[in-house]
Structure 1
Amino acid sequence: MGKLSNLLEKFRDKRNLTQGFFALITNIHIPNFLKGTIYTGKLKSVCVPGLNCYSCPGAALSCPIGSFQAVVGSSKFNFAYYVTGLMLLFGTIFGRLICGFLCPFGFFQDLIHKISSKKFSTRRFSFLKYTKYFILLFVVWLFGVFLTDKLGAASPYFCKYICPQGILEGGIPLSLANKSIRAALGNLFLLKSIILMAIIILSIFLYRPFCKYVCPLGAFYALTNKFSFYQYHVNDNCISCGKCKRICKMDVDMSKNQRALECIRCGECIKVCPTSAISTSFKNNNLEEVKYE
């Protein structure tokens, strides 16, 4: 585990490159963007850790949220045990480090946020962070269980009506390359485009608004931050200078809560700590000291 922790430290120093590399390898079927087709091979039965649309022409694997809804929305199942187990495995090992390093849509928001403009704090909007848990519980799961048709099947409500990644990776590329898809575009495409544009505009001025307030996958991994093997630690060298709190774009005070639900393990707090009081490891021994917000 020590070697893995050291490897992650190297990735942390080049986080954007790591994000870009992972976005590329999970969407490796580049020629499909020109063909307007979707890869449907055997690997599509496996989920990537982050939010990456199944309908993206380049996608090599499936999105966990989309896969969960596909199973729950069928007439035979009310719960997706395989997909949930896979997400629990990812979360138990890494927690929300997946959001910080391995999610293509998180990477997209990070790039948009680099556009030169006045940046605004989101601390005053912290109450909105609970919205993503509502979406996870109701829109992703319970809507698929109870809002069904006569055959007992349900629409993938989050993917169909909310998720901006679907229109970014799937809807827009496919419509540009495929005439028949362009001809079939309607109000749903317009709605999803408006949502995507809103996220893009907000991402210029606010850091990761989708991750903070909307993403159900982020909500799921947030819960695993409390018990994941990969953890942050603050030792006695901490002088309570507040630099880690000020630098954190996810509004986390690392000196007070190393297992905060909103922490995406980006490592910016480690870089600014003047006493090197913050460290990471794959040790998770003191579960009795967990503080819940």
Structure 2
Amino acid sequence: MHTVCGPVFHCYACPLALFGCPIGVIAQFSALHLFPYFAVGLLVAFGVMIGSLVCGWMCPFGLLQDVAAKVPAPRFKVPRWMGHFRYVVLIGTVLAVPYFFGEGHPLFICRICPAGGLEKALPDVVSAAVAAIFFTIRPWCRILCPLGAIFGFFNRFSLFTLDLKEHQCTQCGRCRTLCSYGVQPDKTPNADNCLRCLECTRCGPGALKPATLLDETTELSDQKSDVNAS
């Protein structure tokens, strides 16, 4: 089954892995100068359907970081702009480095991947990853994950969406307090750096709710009908 990739970030070198890593597949195909139709098609399909909901609810490496965040420790805040580094990692270590230098380059994504380091017990990578995840909430997901960059790109267009009812929002700011990732849900609920953990929907007034684009289309149709009826 390792020849078929799944939609989540993990290392297929792990004996317990059921599927291949989509990022690893894309990087290896880039090194071979081939286009990974299945891997790209899979990621686009999941991105269009649910965006980074994959990151918040399906990713095993994200779960590992969430467990580490439960350990009492001082936390360092990550500036929102650092989330753009995910696209640098995607373009650089997943696409450009393999394409021009092959799999043997030290910056090839599989050589510096913390998921692979943890699952294959690489001491240097493990030490850096452990140090980061205990002192920052989901540092890999927020700053460096190339898969998160792909899914985050689809957040504004995916069928699954976070619906902000501005007329119900009291501007209390609690949604920002609930968000551990520096997103401003009351301004940009479907931002590309949102991991869709859905914690912000617990803000209270009911202004933020999970929805689909079909729900929004139905609501707009109902509003037009009400206007025409009046």
Aligned mates of 2:213, 2:5 — CA distance in 1: 26
Task: Map Cα deviations across residues 69-107 of structure 1 (whole Å, 9 max, x no partner).
Answer: 121212x52x32221111111111110011101111101
Partner of 1:55: 13
Q: Is the 8 A contact 2:27 2:94 kept in 1?
A: yes
Q: Is the 8 A contact 1:145 1:154 kept in 2?
A: no
Shift of residue 196, structure 1, vs aligned partner:
2.5
Q: Is the 8 A contact 2:11 2:17 kept in 1?
A: yes
Aligned pairs for 1:34-183 (under 5 A) are: 43-74=1-32, 76-77=33-34, 79-122=35-78, 125-148=79-102, 157-160=108-111, 162-169=112-119, 171-172=120-121
Aligned mates of 1:130, 1:281 — CA distance in 2: 26
What is the aligned length?
214
Task: Map Cα deviations across residues 1-43 of structure 1 (whole Å, 9 max, x no partner).
Answer: xxxxxxxxxxxxxxxxxxxxxxxxxxxxxxxxxxxxxxxxxx2
Aligned mates of 2:125, 2:38 — CA distance in 1: 30
Shift of residue 113, structure 1, vs aligned partner:
0.8
TM, length-normalised to structure 2: 0.87
Task: Map Cα deviations across residues 39-63 of structure 1 (whole Å, 9 max, x no partner).
Answer: xxxx222211111111000011111
Q: Is the 8 A contact 1:136 1:216 kept in 2?
A: yes
Aligned mates of 1:61, 1:167 — CA distance in 2: 17
Task: Map Cα deviations across residues 103-137 of structure 1 (whole Å, 9 max, x no partner).
Answer: 11101111111101233332xx3232221101101
Is 1:210 aligned with 2:166? Answer: no
Partner of 2:178: 247
Shift of residue 198, structure 1, vs aligned partner:
2.0
Q: Which runs of 5+ in 2 are unaligned?
A: 218-230
SS in 2 for 1:165: helix
Task: Map Cα deviations across residues 145-178 of structure 1 (whole Å, 9 max, x no partner).
Answer: 2224xxxx76681012x10111211x22xxxxxx
Aligned mates of 1:224, 1:167 — CA distance in 2: 28
Are residues 147 and 137 of structure 1, via their aligned partners in 2, closer, same or farther at CA, if it must alter by over 3 Å? Answer: same
Q: Is the 8 A contact 1:109 1:200 kept in 2?
A: no
Aligned pairs for 1:198-277 (under 5 A) are: 198-235=128-165, 236-271=167-202, 273-277=203-207
CA RMSD of aligned residues (A): 1.8
Q: Which runs of 5+ in 1 are unaligned?
A: 1-42, 173-188, 287-293
Q: Is the 8 A contact 2:118 2:125 kept in 1?
A: no
SS in 1 for 2:209: strand
Give, as a single letter, the amino acid of the residue that structure 2 aligns with 1:139.
T
Q: Is the 8 A contact 2:80 2:183 kept in 1?
A: no
Aligned mates of 1:127, 1:275 — CA distance in 2: 29
